[in-house]
Amino acid sequence: MARSALLNVMVQAAMKAGRSLSRDFGEVQNLQVSMKGPGDYVSQADRKAEDIIFTELSKARPGYAFLMEERGTVGGDDDQHRWLVDPLDGTTNFLHGIPIFSVSIALERQGQIVAGVIYNPAMDELYTAERGGGAFMNDRRLRVAARTKLSDTVIGCGVPHLGRGHHGNFLVELRNVMAEVSGIRRLGSAALDLAYVAAGRMDGFWEGGLSPWDIAAGLLMVREAGGYVSDAKGGQDMLEQGTVVAGNETIHRALLATVKKPLQTR
């Protein structure tokens, strides 16, 4: 596949950060870890990867602003462009030696996500997308799964944990979805969950309590693979609301209705 110069910059930054994470992943037991909040860890590896991405993207596009997990908002002279960066999505997996984590970089232009990169260095899987140009994994074109019955599907989700999310609301959603689908998966990286939907590995995905950098690249990935994404209310305020529901057109509609309905007692 032919990549634009801008997407190449993003790929290079993600892969350079990924190589750094891979080295630290091999030494995971020796990492120094500090607590950012209940159940929310941040490691030296996380900060180092973010520094690499910040340096690479700033060098290539000096005026662009940033929204990053660790640094937060970094202003720029160009108010039309903003990078949304998660240097290590799946930190808890990483720290436990589970090879399901990713680097996620998205570019927002005038409020629209126009390019995205998600890279899992442990599996050497590189997901890329540009608005209007399709979605790819290691240069293979991606399409969302074609299943149309919830009963045939495998659906991904996020599970609230210590200090995060409304556990009671999630249990209602989970019970409703469990009753309708073939299987439910929880990967631990929202960016990869959305990439897996784009690749047809999972038929749909829903989660709440997310940050913009968790999902920005993945939202574009699903759309460019022919899928549908919305917030939990069916609108398009995913980055603001921190909720997402994704799938092909039919599964997205059915999953959204299932997640929204009240608990059915049986």
Domains of the chain: 5-141 (3.30.540.10), 150-260 (3.40.190.80)
So what's the pLDDT on residue 36? 63
So what's the pLDDT on residue 40? 58
Q: And the tokens for 64? A: 């662009």
**pLDDT beyond 60 at 120:** yes
Average of per-residue pLDDT across 108-130: 97
Least confident window among 161-175, 215-229, 244-258 = 161-175
**pLDDT beyond 70 at 32:** no
Q: Which residues contact 243 (CB under 8 A, 6 or more apart)?
A: 206, 207, 208, 209, 210, 231, 232, 233
So what's the pLDDT on residue 35? 62
**pLDDT beyond 70 at 38:** no
Strand partners for 137: 127, 140
Distance in angstroms (rounded) separating the CA atoms of residues 20 and 30 = 15
Highest mean pLDDT among 91-100, 134-143, 170-179: 134-143
Antiparallel, parallel or unpaired: β 154-157 and 183-185: parallel
**pLDDT beyond 60 at 37:** no
Residue ranges of the binding site: 69, 86, 88-89, 214
- Under a CB-based contact definition with an 8 Å cutoff, are residues 256 and 234 in contact? yes
**pLDDT beyond 90 at 265:** no
| Mean pLDDT taken over the chain | 92
Average of per-residue pLDDT across 12-31: 89
Residue 261 pLDDT class (50, 70, 90 cuts): confident
Q: Which residues contact 59 (CB under 8 A, 6 or more apart)?
A: none
So what's the pLDDT on residue 216? 98
Average of per-residue pLDDT across 31-37: 65
Average of per-residue pLDDT across 119-138: 97
Residue ranges of the binding site for Mg(2+): 69, 86, 88-89, 214
Average of per-residue pLDDT across 93-97: 89
So what's the pLDDT on residue 263? 60
